[in-house]
Each structure stands twice: as structure tokens, then as C-alpha cells.
Amino acid sequence: MAAKRIDSWVVSDDFWARVEPLVPARVAAVRKKYLRKPGAGRPPKPARQVFEAIVYVLRTGCQWKALPKERFGSASAVHKRFLEWEKAGFFESLWMIGLAEYDQMEGIAWRWQSIDGAMFKAPMAQQAVGPNPTDRGKKGQQAPPAGGRAWRPVVDHRDRGQRQ
């Protein structure tokens, strides 16, 4: 019997049990003043479904609007909750707790952690890698402005009613 394949974005019961206490409580929007009949409108999405949708976006790299509607419902509702949770610090606390748990399990050599980065071209790389392939040798004049017109029209004023 073949083992059942689980998608990488599906949140297990064990993982959800550790994440659920961190999920911020919903707060009513203060700036909206409208009355709704009891039971009217869509019920809020369960937090687990929202979290699973966020994990889906992170794992697949898809846009919010590309979320499968049949699985997650309204993508804009999921994104709205994502922004609420981000503002409440949910993801930072999830990251910190996950990091502490990993440190207990595996141990992190904090003394040896470092970060490095560069946001400019390496000065000696030109000889090693050659010219930038996107330049295509066009070092001269820039492209004309949008619309195809030069900055100043050739004719100062044209009366469309007169023929030349």
C-alpha cells in the first residue's frame, strides 16, 4: 500500500496545536459604523484555514489572488487577515518561538552567526564574467520618451482649422 502524499502547505494537527495559541484575537473595526442583522454577512474564516492559505502562498510563491478559491475562499479576505496578523506581531512571535524551539533541539552557535551582503557590482568581475548581457551594446542614446514625441514639438503652434 502506497503512503498518502501530503502537500507541503497542509498544516498538521500537531503544528496547528503549537501555532493556535499565538493567533491574535479578532478585533472589531472601530472606524466602520454600520448595523447588520444578526447572522447576516459571511462568517469569518477559521484561523486555521487562513494560516494554511498563508503557508500555501509562502510555499508556492503564488500571488494572493491566485489562491485556490475552492479551498480557501476569498483571497482578499485571507490577505486582510494576513495584514491584521502582521500588524499584531503574530509572525514575529511565531518566528521567535520556532527559533527558540530549534535552539533547544539542535542548538544554535550564536557566537558564530554572521550576515553578509553586497548591493553593488564587484569591481574586478568585468574581466571574469564579461559584459552585462542585458546591455546588448547600447551605450549611446537613451530611448525616446513615451508617446514617441520629442521633448519639444517641431512646430510651435498648429491651428488645425488652417490647411498648409
Axis crossing angle, helix 47-60 with helix 75-88, rounded to the nearest 10: 100
Reported confidence tier of residue 22, pLDDT bands at 50, 70, 90: very high
Predicted pLDDT of residue 55: 92
Percent of the chain's residues with pLDDT above 70: 58
Predicted pLDDT of residue 78: 93
Residue 84 near residue 59 (C-beta atoms within 8 A)? no
Question: Does 77 or 148 have the greater pLDDT score?
Answer: 77
Predicted pLDDT of residue 138: 58
At 40 the three-state DSSP class reads coil
44 secondary structure, DSSP code: P
Reported confidence tier of residue 37, pLDDT bands at 50, 70, 90: confident
Predicted pLDDT of residue 118: 65
Predicted pLDDT of residue 115: 73
CA 28 to chain centre: 25
In angstroms, rounded to a whole number, what is the distance separating the alpha carbons of residues 3 and 14?
19
Give me Rg for the CA atoms of the chain.
Answer: 28
Predicted pLDDT of residue 137: 62
pLDDT tens per residue, range 39-98: 677 777 889 999 999 999 988 888 999 999 988 989 999 999 999 999 999 999 999 998
